[in-house]
Amino acid sequence: MSISVRMLLCVFFSVVLAAMPAKGQVIQARIDSLLQVLPKAKDDTAKVRLLCSISREYFEILPAKGAEYGQQALTLADELDYKYGRMMAHNAIGRCEAIGTNFASAL
């Protein structure tokens, strides 16, 4: 391969990679969108699902924070006697605890 082709490929991939947002930025944007909805949410099954969604988004970047939102979802699901919500909350908490290497709590 000639030097000019290599140079062109290097420039091309540099531009492409620079234009791509970092994974953390994309996740944070989704979290910010979900958090804007949270204060307006009523204490119902939709809020349980919203809290679980926030928990699932946090699990890769801040697992402890994700577990907190999962715990909030679990508390609300218990109050509402929402069995499916309890399952989703336990799943979200377990995922956060496992990635945070807190395996005993994850189970």
Q: What is the pLDDT of residue 27?
A: 84
Q: Is 69 exposed, middle or buried (0-12, 13-18, 19+ CB in 10 A)?
A: buried
Tracing tokens 């979802």 back to the chain, one arrives at 73
Q: What is the pLDDT of residue 98?
A: 86
pLDDT along the chain (107 residues), means of 10: 66 55 76 94 96 93 94 97 97 88 53
Alpha-helical segments (H) within the chain: 3-19, 23-37, 45-58, 63-80, 83-99, 103-106
The pTM (predicted TM-score) of the whole model is 0.73
